[in-house]
Amino acid sequence: MAEKKAKKYYTVMLVDDNEIDNLINQKMIEASNIAEHIFIHTGAMSAIEFLKNLEKLGEASLSSLPDVIFLDIDMPLMDGFRFLDEFGKLTDLTRNKCRVVMLTSSLNPQDVNRSKKYEYVKKYINKPLTQDSLEKLDV
């Protein structure tokens, strides 16, 4: 009998306005078995509000805060970079716990370079998530 591997992350969060991408990425994460829980937000604004609400719980929120946030860049109302600007205003506790992975269809070198200016952005991956990219994910 194969030994059950411990999950890499307790919680991950997908932030993408494209529901089909979210579904595909959710299925990939489930299949790779790297996370216990997956939060899905179709807007950056709702994702930031969610994180702010968790912060109000203080230390109790620590286990609910996502370990990894997969963030799309091109979204209406609030794009991925505006999310990162807002994320930067959150508490140290949140910023230290949540590592951001840009998950985007953008191949624009300017987007890649711009994302590197944010210390909490740990990786830049092109959509869609693959088993390989998830296995190599080390953030």
pLDDT one-digit tens code per residue, 61-95:
778 899 999 999 999 999 999 999 999 999 998 99
Residues 6+ apart with CB under 8 A from 46: none
All structural domains of the chain: 14-136 (3.40.50.2300)
77: left (phi over 0), alpha (psi -120 to 50) or beta: left
Residues 6+ apart with CB under 8 A from 25: 14, 16, 70, 103, 127, 128, 129
Q: How far apart are CA 109 and CA 113, in angstroms?
A: 6
Under a CB-based contact definition with an 8 Å cutoff, are residues 66 and 39 in contact?
Answer: yes
pLDDT one-digit tens code per residue, 107-132:
899 999 999 999 999 999 999 899 99
Count CA atoms closer than 13 A to 17's CA, side-chain side. 13
